[in-house]
Amino acid sequence: MPGYRALSLAFTAALATACAVAAQGPGPGPSAAPGPTPEDLAPAPPMGWNSWNRFHCDISEQLIRETADAMVASGLRDAGYRYVNIDDCWEAPARDAHGDLATDSARFPSGMKALADYVHSKGLKIGIYSSAGWGTCQKRPASLDHEPADARKFAEWGIDYLKYDNCNNQDRPAIERYKAMGDALRATRRPIVYSLCEWGANKPWEWGRSVGGHLWRTTGDISDRWSSVLKILDQQVGLEKYSGLNGWNDPDMLEVGNGRMTDDEYIAHFSLWALLNAPLIAGNDLRSMSDGTKRILMNKDVIAVDQDWGGMQGHKVRDDGEREVWMKPMSSGDVAVVLLNRDTTAAQLGVTMRELGLSGGRHEARNLWAHTDGVVTDTLSAALPRHSAAMFIVRK
């Protein structure tokens, strides 16, 4: 069987290259083989945590260590959350004597390498933040015109994920600025997920992949408010065709558990983000989560929808003003559905099997929040309290 043999040899060769890359480690070196292609780094939307939404500049190595500990102890790691991401304000106020980015030594006395080692020892990955400008949004040193050196520094520290912001960009073209860092990250040969935080200003969904991005923010900043969730949701309409394996639309990080929305609102937020194949980056204090917050962030059925790629991210199929229906094809041929009541009063919502692209008649369905299985005939419907959503998988 010559065909089979050729295939098996090709496979062996690919495996040998992969092993060589793994053995050689991330560091650049003259004899190093090319590293894993950036295209392979985010086959599913990244999951993890980021310091910004809850802590802003009030961060330290102790917080990051305790967050890594909590990610393991709470079960979040086992539910799929992997990245512990440090946002703005980790930087010292000025570059060091060599012109390199330096870590704020009062808040991170052990340094970034030691912190990365600690996070890695927990079976987790670590992310960091910079801006494609002269300074970050909090006016710390940032990476414009320093891309190769800064990327090398991140690789040296053992960083696995870079969120790259857009502040203080001197009105220089976005594609150029983001490509410079994408190229620099690639040149380090360390696998580093590249998260473009350009706020959707220059339609990054159109060029994010071409500059090496694995995800790109589609909007300005989220806040811990129902109105913010809805505003961002509305901005996702029409972007569904740009998202896909290794290149995800990012409607911003989660606010679940930060305290200014009700659990119904957080359930709707989490359901919608999962339906959109959004990166699930928790933004709360993992060290003190209520049981309600844990139940939301660790709903395995909902996470499975987020991590599944059925050919298109979730999109709106019905808009009755304050009542909406969103659906997403699953790779199994089943359909994930979110019924959303944006209104301040309770409402009854429904959608027909045909609107979901399924045949009419009986279908099995699972309610992903009630954790119940049932049968739907022609129309899936639910009674929804104010500001809430229900989420289902309808079997094909």
What are all long-range contacts of 326-333, with beta carbons under 8 Å and residues at least 24 apart?
A: 326/272, 326/275, 327/275, 327/351, 327/356, 327/357, 328/275, 328/276, 328/277, 329/357, 330/305, 330/393, 332/308, 332/396, 333/396
Q: DSSP letter at 61? A: H
Which run of H or of E encompasses 195? strand 193-196
Of residues 52 and 118, the one with the C-beta less far from ligand GAL: 52
52 is a contact residue toward ligand GAL (CB under 6 A): yes
Helix then strand then coil, in percent of the chain rounded to 5, is 35, 20, 45
165 is catalytic: yes
Which one of the spans 12-20, 113-121, 136-144, 369-377 is the region binding ligand GAL (CB under 6 A)?
136-144
Q: Are 194 and 182 in contact (CB under 8 A)?
A: yes
160 is a contact residue toward ligand GAL (CB under 6 A): no
- A 10 A CB-CB count for 179 gives 18
59 is a contact residue toward ligand GAL (CB under 6 A): no
137 is a contact residue toward ligand GAL (CB under 6 A): yes
- 3-class DSSP state of 151: helix
87 is a contact residue toward ligand GAL (CB under 6 A): yes
Name the phi and psi angles at 20, rounded to 5.
-60, -40
Q: Which of 61, 91, 160, 165 forms a contact with ligand GAL (CB under 6 A)? A: 165
181 is a contact residue toward ligand GAL (CB under 6 A): no
Nearest to 196 by CA among 132, 135, 258: 132
Smallest separation, CB 53 to ligand GAL (Å): 8
Of residues 35 and 135, the one with the C-beta less far from ligand GAL: 135
Residues 219-238 that bind ligand GAL (CB under 6 A): 221
88 is catalytic: no
Smallest separation, CB 329 to ligand GAL (Å): 30
Q: Are 375 and 364 in contact (CB under 8 A)?
A: yes
104 is a contact residue toward ligand GAL (CB under 6 A): no
> Which of 221, 263, 264, 301 is an active site residue?
221
138 is a contact residue toward ligand GAL (CB under 6 A): yes
Report the catalytic residues.
165, 221
What are the residues binding ligand GAL (CB under 6 A)?
52, 87-88, 136-138, 165, 167, 197, 221
